[in-house]
Amino acid sequence: MKVLDLHIHGIGDFDTNAQDAGQIISLCEELASHSVFDVVLAIYPAPIPEMRRRMEAVKSAMGVEGGARIHGVHLEGPFLNPERCGALTPSYFLTPSVDNLNMLIEGYEEIVKIVTLSPELEGALDLIEHIRAMGILVNMGHSDATYEQAEEGFRRGATGITHIFNAQRPFHHRQPGLAGFGLTNPDIYVEVIADGLHLHRATIDLVFRAKPKERIILVSDCVSRRELVRGLVGGEEPLKSITDRLLREGYPEDLVESWAWHNPWQYLALARVPK
């Protein structure tokens, strides 16, 4: 079964913190050894010059044969809520603004496919509209958004939710938050880290039961060994391993294939189509 991982930071000794193409090429070769042949590489928040150097490294490695094919970049930040930073470094987070966005991605607009931001922040809704007008997808994540704030983010153009339930306001029966919106809105896409570590098995099954099958995207959020030592900053299981385990657990092959292959491609196809 083929997989396309839209949220992968690294694996083994390599990750997107690298600032040279050789390291990114080695990362892609390592991913291919784990039967992951198509990826959008995710980049952590960092000072803008550093994030730009990382994007340059990825851009230089795109098209190189022999490893996983790179289909672009997923910027996981820096327009995020410090209250839901997870293991990310909040001192690198920025106020959502067009000026900050331009300083970050100018010259790399063609490779940026997804930006994750927190819709409840001041200026975020206007930035969502601006990013979508550029043909870049917007995920909501690392967020303390209420259900209503998430709903407004979607109305303004957000298309997905980054690793549902993780680094978000906890679901409450009177305050369902971003996760509750993701589960009940039939149109928004949701990333799911189905490794059994980030989400309880019952929670994984809840997402699979609640969402239309066309709106579920399996991701690994896989990181390098050096990032793992910092704690629950991401996964260590490549996406192909996750899908193989879901098959062993009895999930139908056609569904797993949709979640890990067809739906990610369908989602990427929305990029470059301004809302």
Domains of the chain: 4-268 (3.20.20.140)
Instruction: Kindly name the residue from 5, 15, 38, 221 that is annotated as catalytic.
Output: 221
Work out the mean pLDDT of the chain and round it to a whole number: 95
Tell me how far apart the alpha carbons of residues 184 and 105 are, in angstroms, rounded to a whole number.
33
Read off the amino acid at residue 5: D
Split at pLDDT 50, 70, 90, the class of 6 is very high
Mention every residue, 6+ apart, whose C-beta is less than 8 A from residue 213: 255, 258, 259
Sorting pLDDT into bands at 50, 70 and 90, what band is 248? very high
CB atoms near residue 273 (< 10 Å): 9
> What was the pLDDT predicted at 226?
77
Question: Is residue 232's pLDDT more than 60?
Answer: no
Q: What is the DSSP letter of 162?
A: S
Is 221 among the catalytic positions? Answer: yes
In this predicted structure, the answer to whether residue 227 has a pLDDT above a threshold of 80 is: no
Amino acid identity, position 253:
E
pLDDT band at 273 (very low <50, low <70, confident <90, very high): low
Maximum separation of any 2 CA atoms in the chain, in Å: 51
Q: Are residues 15 and 27 in contact, defined by beta-carbon separation less than 8 angstroms?
A: yes
Closest CA to 125 of 152, 95, 161, 86: 152
What is the C-alpha to C-alpha distance for residues 183 and 163, in angstroms, rounded to an integer? 12
CA distances (Å), origin 123, targets 59, 82, 152, 270? 29, 15, 13, 23
Element (H, E) at 52: helix 48-61
Q: Is the peptide bond before 264 cis (omega within 30 degrees of 0)?
A: no
Place of tokens 């990029």: 271
Whole-number Cα distances in Å, 126 to 122, 129, 170, 258, 273: 9, 5, 25, 32, 18
